[in-house]
Amino acid sequence: MKAPRRASDITAWCSAVVLLSLILLGSIRENIASESIRGSQFSDRPCEEIYVVGEGETLHTIGEKCGDPFIVERNPHIHDPDDVFPGLVLKITPFNLPRRSL
């Protein structure tokens, strides 16, 4: 009588392991998907308050990336908006626009 009971125990354990594996796999896939979205334009705050300009960036690209269309107004040390160089430190204040539905 122990043999049938043992077979059912093994089946129950295997089923539990498979179920747990599927749950973990789904969780990992969800985390990967949310990481790729977090780094894109859908992020609530893609930039820190203090931003250092990188190679090839313009005020326009930084404004789009960080959600701050008023960078020049908030940074009085910028005398010429066309004279942006790597290493320039900017204050960023994201402008909260309503999200578009996809």
One domain for residues 33 and 58: no
CATH of the domain at 60: 3.10.350
The domain tally of the chain equals 2
Question: pLDDT for 36-77, tens place per residue?
Answer: 444 444 445 568 889 999 999 999 999 999 988 889 998 999
54/75 same-domain check: yes
pTM score, whole prediction: 0.49
Does residue 86 contact residue 97 with C-beta atoms inside 8 Å?
no
Q: Name the pLDDT band for 11 (thresholds 50, 70, 90).
A: confident
CA dihedral 28, 32, 38, 40 (to 10 degrees): -170
Residue 87: left if φ>0, alpha if ψ -120 to 50, beta else—which one? left
Q: How far apart are CA 91 and CA 51, in angstroms?
A: 6
Cross-strand partners of 50:
91
Domain that holds residue 17: 1-38
Looking at the structure, tell me whether residues 66 and 87 fall in a common domain. Answer: yes
| Same domain for 32 and 61 | no
For residue 74, being part of any structural domain is answered with yes
Predicted confidence at residue 28, as pLDDT, reads 73
User: Binning pLDDT at 50, 70 and 90, where does residue 10 land?
Assistant: confident
In a domain, 75, yes or no: yes
Residue 73 in domain: yes
Same domain, 55 and 83: yes
The pLDDT of residue 92 is above 60: yes
- Percent of the chain past pLDDT 70, that is, above it, reads 71
